[in-house]
Amino acid sequence: MIVKPFGKIVDVLQQDIVPENKYQNWMELQKHLFERFPELKNEHYLVAINHKIISEKENPDLQSGDEIALLPPFSGG
C-alpha cells in the first residue's frame, strides 16, 4: 500500500508514504495519517484509490497493493 501526496499535500507528507501497519479501510488509514501528520487535517484534497476518486463519505476497504492519491485543488493559470 502506498499513499501519494500531490501539490500542497507534499509539503505536509514530504514523500510517498508506505504505511507499516495494515489498515482495514480508508478512514482507518486517514486517521493514522492525521495522527502522524496533524497538519493534514487543515488541508483540503480529493482522494483517489487506484486512480478512482471517492467522495468524502465513502470508506472503501483497502487491499495490500492499493495506491492512494491525495490531490488538492490547484488554482494557478
Q: Which residues bind another protein (CB under 8 A)?
A: 6-8, 44, 46, 48, 51-53, 55-57, 69, 71-77
Query: Is there a contact between 12 and 37 (Cβ–Cβ < 8 Å)?
Result: yes
Using the minimum distance from each CB to another protein, give the nearer residue, 6 or 37: 6
Shortest distance in whole angstroms from residue 41 CB to another protein: 12
- CA pair distance 77, 68, nearest whole angstrom: 27
Using the minimum distance from each CB to another protein, give the nearer residue, 35 or 53: 53
Give Cβ neighbours of residue 43 (< 8 Å, ≥ 6 apart): 8, 9, 12, 72
Using the minimum distance from each CB to another protein, give the nearer residue, 20 or 77: 77
